[in-house]
Structure 1
Amino acid sequence: MPNLIYQAQPPLEFIPPAFKPWFLEAVHLLLPTWLRWKSAISQIEADDVEVLVDLYRQFQEGKIRFLIAFRHPKTQDPFCLGYLFSQIVPKVARQMGVSLQHPIHAHFIYDRGIPLWAGSHIGWIASSLGGTPIQRGKADWTGLRSARDLFANGRFPMAAAPEGATNGLSEVVNPLEPGIAQLGFWCAEDLHKAGRDQQVLIVPIGIKYSYVEAPWNAIAKLLSELEAASGLPGDTKVYNNISPIESLYPRLLRLSERLLSLMEQFYTRFYHQKLPEVKNQTEDANEVIAARLYVLLDVVLQVAEQYFDLQPKGNFSDRCRRVEQAGWNYIFREEYKDIKALSPLEKALGDRVAEEANLRMWHMRLVESFVAVTGKYVREKPTAERFAETTSLIRDMVTRIRGGNPFKSPPLGKQRVKITIGEPLSVSQRYPVYKASRQGAKQAVADLTKDLQQAMESLVVKGE
């Protein structure tokens, strides 16, 4: 994390949503200018917005409750959704002759950890926009109750990223967390108990980034910087009459091999980890790199898990969330609610624990950046976008290792954003199965999560 936490502190407080209409109005007013001057985004367009317009019409007429489940490849996604709500939806509604009450907005769920690295003011901003926080790695009942109440009773629809975190890749959807489906069934349950006949829906939304002009020169420059940082000699070959991807791809493979070797040596030598041997059963360099990366990520996570006495259960994303929560538990502690009751020595020991926990979480952050990397992303579709995204992920890792802030990395070029509205998934139609039995509820959540995953993956293709 950019802002390292070296001291033990009281438990993280829940930040209650406190929607301020005047603040949303100011955000909507300033957002187009902010995007133009402070971001790399030069154009935002959307497909099938008519679906969303009709959903807002039905919501405002009291017929439905719905949650927007959006793709989350980059940290700029919330700004793109804000533009969708404030600019595109009202415009399309006017074209359709549909009268919508303003503002068009959504309550949203955000990670409670964001204000820790982005600044405490982000908590105030999120709260003022009607957002509610959640601690991802534990059963955060306060956060869940707030989200559940907003879904059933809030002034606006809900919005959440079912992937749980960004992955940096526009065309790869991380495994979805089941919490979004569970929220949908809770909403249906709450409406049923209250005698309300509103239908509950989940609406998948795709977000895809592309470059206005292929940033091959910027990619080549970034590769040179990464090669120098990792101790590789610069590429002096002369490439004539071949495409940029053909000239740069060998360098990307060479850089990947170098970084893997350095990190393997680092964890073997200094953390005494034994790396399982990756048998070279293919001559495909991509397959070998992918296999080595998987083994390395597993070992890196184990370094953090061993410190926190955690068992490696689930996929990489699940394990990252548990490590994160274990770290928060070491840093934000109940006994620090009354810090005056602690002796100076107790406080100093607590600070040592907090410092060590934060350092162990650093290993998890490395893995978090690469959970979606397969080794085939560029090869199977060698576009400038995929090359840039992969190279940027490597840059972020190198930046993190060198103690920098990966969130402040400069963009490689101007981008356009394509938002695609998917077909709503009915939660209400599945509710009878959910309420029939405990096993039925478990299966209903799993099935809805699976269907949402497929829907969001289909939007990746549709948004091309």
Structure 2
Amino acid sequence: MPHASIQSARPALRRLPTRASRTVQGVLRRLLPWVFASQRLQLDHGNADEGLAREFAAQQQGERTLLLAFRHPSPRDPLVLADLFWTRVPEAARRLGLTLPRPIELRFLYDRGIPLWAGPLIGWLLQRCGGIAIHRGRLDRPALKQARDALAQGRHALVVAPEGATNNLSGEMAPLEPGVAQLAFWAAEDMDEADDPRPLHVIPVGIRYSWRRPDWAALEARLTALEQHLGLSPEDQGNRRERLLRIGAELIEALEQLERLRPEQDQPLTQRIEAYRLHGLRKAESHFGLRASGTLQERCRRIEQAAWDRIYRENLDQLPPLERSLADWEAREADQQLTRMRLVEHFTSVSGHYVSDQPDFDRFAEMVLLVEEAIGWIEASPWNGKPSLGPQRVELSLGEALAVQPRVADYRSNRRRAVQQLTNDLEQALTELMRARLE
């Protein structure tokens, strides 16, 4: 397990206000093609640019409000979407003869923790691009109200990732969180109370990454490097899946020894990974006195928030010396539990079935990258995988709009059921977009 990076308690996290700047967005828009070129990433907008051009034209003419819900397989998604919204959609609108009276401005939710690990510059840019910072592990009422108001007022489309976080897999989606559906119903009720007749549309946006030219030789070299790093003998050179599973088994065995877990003999790797995940979650929850309930994502968010509450403290400078020392001690322990939770998150997507279900290059490559990232996280040193797996493409797609107002009556009679149904419908739409790109 990596050493704790936090050595002392820190002042409480301040709220990051939204300070949208067209100037900053204009500069970023011009830089994005250079960023994609440096990453050798090719963009394929499919039907997304023209479909969104029609939606934004109607939105800017006061005919509807928009909530855009996108698949979130990669940390690069925000840059891809920024290029789509700021450049490709206006180009498509001109091509279709549609009028956009003003530049597209967005509001989007992002995790308040991002600037902590990505740096203050990223936090500054997120604010200037219309971001609404939200604490994901607790009921962040100010952030939710800001997002709700933006959606109800309708001047800015609201952009959210209903998976809550990246899973680094283009072919498998994490369970959706219900917050997107709940925001949509809140805004629809606000619009109804204000006698606002505009429909509110939830628009599913699909994102899929793939390698443009499968380079099996490079993948074989990456597998060999992992085997050598873990001290494995090069067996079954022709069976990539078995090699990948053997690497995963060696990695999970090391973690089991660290946590003093004793798996059953011949227990399948997927079950061992699940046991490790649950053990890590329970250990962190026990440390913070949290109740073990909800989905894996929800449990991780509560652990994250509990750790932050102990690391980032109110009135820290007013503590007497002994209490300040104890606060530092508690912060170090909290960071260690946060590290344990992050490692559990890294293993959320690791499984044997992902490459068994569809043993193509993209799935093998994504799983190798996940394993490399997990090893880098454990060793507190980023894994520099070589040789390169080659240039990639990202394909975007648009699903049919989900109208919210026709569901409001059901929401008022049974809120939980209506939120779950809208979440299920959105998940189905995103799944269909993902599968359509796989065919």
Q: TM-score, normalised by structure 1?
A: 0.89
Deviations 1:22-65, CA, capped at 9 Å, x for gaps: 1111111111112212x241333332433212110110011111
**TM-superposed deviation, 1:321:** 1.0
Q: What aligned pairs does 1:42-121 form with structure 2 within 5 A after superposition?
A: 42-121=42-121
Counterpart amino acid of residue 26 in structure 2: E
Aligned to 1:392: 369
**C-alpha separation in 2, matches of 1:5 and 1:260:** 26
3-state secondary structure, aligned to 2:214: coil
- What SS does the corresponding residue of 1:43 show, helix, strand or coil? strand
Number of the residue aligned with 2:315 = 335
Distance 2:322 2:127 in 1: 37
Change (3 A) 1:168 1:130: same
Deviation of the 1:313 alpha carbon = 1.2
Alignment partner, residue 293 of structure 1: 273
Q: Cα 1:26–1:127, aligned 2, differ >3 Å: closer, same or farther?
A: same
**1:192-230 per-position Cα deviation (integer Å, ceiling 9, x unaligned):** 122211111111111000101113233222222222222
Match of 1:264 among 250, 253, 256: 256
The answer on whether the counterparts of 1:68 and 1:202 sit within 8 Å (CA) in structure 2 is yes
Please give the alpha-carbon distance, in whole angstroms, between the structure 2 residues aligned to 1:454 and 1:228.
Answer: 41
* 292, 306, 311: which one aligns with 1:326: 306
SS in 2 for 1:355: helix
User: Quick check: 1:275–1:299 contact (8 Å CA) kept in 2?
Assistant: no
Report if the CA contact (8 A) 1:14-1:143 is conserved. Answer: no
Measure how far apart 1:309 and its partner are. Answer: 1.6
CA deviation after TM superposition for structure 1 residue 390, in Å: 0.6
Q: Which moved more, 1:49-58 or 1:377-386?
A: 49-58
Secondary structure of 1:416's match? strand
Q: RMSD between aligned alpha carbons?
A: 2.1
Aligned counterpart for 1:311 among listed residues 291, 316, 320: 291
2: distance between equivalents of 1:184 and 1:445?
9
Output one character per residue of 1:229-260: Cα deviation in whole Å (capped at 9) or x when no partner: 22213x277x6xxxxxx442221121112112
Tell me the CA shift for residue 3 of structure 1.
9.5
Q: Is the 8 A contact 1:2 1:117 kept in 2?
A: no
Specify every segment of 5 or more residues in structure 2 that has no aligned partner in the other structure, as ranges: none
User: For residues 135 and 110 of structure 2, what CA distance do their matches in structure 1 show?
Assistant: 9
- 8 Å Cα contact 1:227-1:255 kept in structure 2: yes
Secondary structure (helix, strand or coil) at the match of 1:66 reads strand
- The 3-state SS of whatever aligns with 2:10 is coil
Identify the match of residue 381 of structure 1 among 339, 343, 358.
Answer: 358
Contact 1:200-1:428 at 8 Å conserved across structures:
yes
Q: Does 1:431 align with 2:408?
A: yes
Q: Tell me the residue number matched to 1:191.
A: 191
Letter in 2 for 1:22: T
**Cα distance, 1:67 vs structure 2:** 0.7
2:223 aligned residue: 223
1:302 aligns with 2:282: yes
Q: Is 1:444 the counterpart of 2:388 in the alignment? A: no
CA distance in structure 1 between the aligned counterparts of 2:22 and 2:343, rounded to whole angstroms = 39
Assess, with a 3 A threshold, how the Cα gap between structure 1 residues 13 and 409 changes in structure 2: closer, same or farther: farther
1:357 to 326, 334, 342: 334
Deviation at 1:428, TM superposition (A): 1.0
Residues 77 and 191 (structure 1), Cα distance of their counterparts in 2 relative to 1, 3 Å cut: same
Q: Which amino acid aligns with 1:390?
A: M
Partner of 2:246: 254
Distance 1:366 1:215 in 2: 29
**1:335 CA displacement:** 3.1
Q: In the superposition, relative to structure 1, how do residues 278 and 330 fare at CA in structure 2: closer, same or farther (>3 Å)?
A: farther
Provide the rounded CA distance (Å) in 2 between the counterparts of 1:150 and 1:373. 37
Structure 1 residue 279: Cα displacement: 6.8
Q: Which moved more, 1:258-267 or 1:1-10?
A: 1-10
Distance change in 2, residues 1:369/1:256 (3 Å): same
Q: Report the number of matched residues.
A: 436
In structure 2, distance between residues paired with 1:447 and 1:405:
41
| 2: CA distance, partners of 1:449 / 1:62 | 26
Q: Label 1:3 to 1:13 Cα distance change in 2 as closer, same or farther (>3 A).
A: farther
Q: How far apart are the structure 2 equivalents of 1:292 and 1:221?
A: 27
Separation in 1 of the partners of 2:81 and 2:295?
29
SS of residue in 2 equivalent to 1:203 = strand
SS at match of 2:315: helix
- Supply the distance in 1 between the matched residues of 2:331 and 2:382 (Cα, whole angstroms): 20
Distance 2:59 2:265 in 1: 54
Could you tell me which runs of 5 or more consecutive residues in structure 1 were left unpaired when the two chains were aligned.
240-245, 269-273, 281-287
- Conserved in 1, the CA contact under 8 Å of 2:60 and 2:155? no
Q: Which moved more, 1:55-64 or 1:253-262?
A: 253-262
Q: Quick check: 1:2–1:404 contact (8 Å CA) kept in 2? A: no
Specify the SS of the correspondent of 1:46: coil
Distance 1:258 1:372 in 2: 17
Structure 2 counterpart of 1:459: 433
8 Å Cα contact 1:107/1:154 also seen in 2: no
Work out whether residues 396 and 409 of structure 1, in 8 Å CA contact, stay in contact via their aligned partners in 2: no
Say which of 401, 415, 427 aligns to 2:378.
Answer: 401
Find the aligned partners of 2:25 and 2:372 in 1 and give their Cα distance.
34
The equivalent residue for 1:29 is 30
Change in CA separation of 1:2 and 1:169 when aligned onto 2, cut-off 3 Å: farther
Residue type of the alignment partner of 2:381: G
Q: In the superposition, relative to structure 1, how do residues 322 and 40 fare at CA in structure 2: closer, same or farther (>3 Å)?
A: farther
For 2:385 and 2:126, the matched residues in 1 are separated by 23
1:83-162 mapped onto 2 (5 Å cutoff): 83-153=83-153, 155-162=155-162
Q: Distance in 1 between matches of 2:390 and 2:331?
A: 39
Q: 1:267 to 1:443 in 2, by over 3 A?
A: same
